[in-house]
A = this chain, B = another copy of it.
Amino acid sequence: METAIKVIKKVKPKKPILVEGLPGIGGVGRITAQYLIDQLKAEKIAELHSPYFLPFTSIQDSVIKLLKNEFYYWKNPKSKGEDLIILVGDCQCGDVSTKGHYDIVEKILDFCENLGVKKIFTLGGFGTGEIEETKDIEILGAASDEKLIEKYEKYGVDFHSSTERIQYIVGASGLLIGLGKERGMEGVCLMGETTGFPILTDPRSAEKLLKVITKILNLDIDLTKIDEKAKEMEAFLKKLEVIQEKAMKKLMPKEEGKENLRYIG
């Protein structure tokens, strides 16, 4: 078995842009990309399966599904507008070997190149390790070429901190840009600040990333629902915090009076 893309519907996009949101830190890229798919009512055009995914199958509504990545297509109603190819999925490469990551990304780029993609935006989260509830969430960026920095920083993307704060991008978000450049594609990676704690997703960071990407792509999208999701998560985290403080007090009664532990995880 090889990594392969199964075409479900043939399309002829005009000036298509790839927007990638595979699973990663805080689920930020994934939530952002899936939200675009839902709001734009993009249609599924292809599936990618790979022997480099973990050998699991998922059960959804009692039906067994192979792990997959999915390509969605949105046709821009504006005649001069750019169409979108949105990539989401269950997972990235799960193999311990490194070859799988490169193999999957090359197959994604083959597919996109055939559709005429020349621009790539990859979306992800950047784990800071901290929660500061009052802080404004920053969107950091890195690009395939320095010309793109000037072009996109006016959308509120901080390109200048990424070298020092991020240094390395792990996985598809970086490889799609790096390998895409070898094919003459220009690419920008946008990362929303998030705590980086495992398991918890970050809809608030996704909301901020959505504000930026919709401005860049000139999309008119209702952000009400993502704001609701973010509020739900914040309420859930507050409950966790209360439970944790009570538990801490039981374990260490002598600690009363000390600074309130306001962190989660």
Contact = CB atoms under 8 A, between A and B. Distances in A.
Interface of A: 1, 51-66, 93-103, 106, 141-146, 149, 159-160, 162-163, 166-171, 174-175, 177-179, 181-182, 187, 189
Contact of A62 (B62, B163, B170, B179): B163
Contacts of A62: 141-143, 146, 149, 159-160, 162-163
A136 B161 CA distance: 42
A51 B178 contact: no
Contact of A51 (B65, B98, B143, B187): B98
A63 B102 contact: no
Nearest to A62: B159
A167 B59 CA distance: 5
A146 B103 CA distance: 33
A100 B162 CA distance: 30
Contacts of A168: 56-59
Contact of A98 (B54, B59, B162, B181): B54
Contacts of A149: 62
A40 to B, nearest CB: 27
A55 B143 contact: no
Contact of A142 (B59, B99, B145): B59
B1 A103 contact: yes
A61 B163 contact: yes
B63 A146 contact: yes
A57 B178 contact: yes
Nearest to A90: B168
Contacts of A97: 95-97
Contact of A143 (B64, B93, B166): B64
Contacts of A178: 57, 64-66
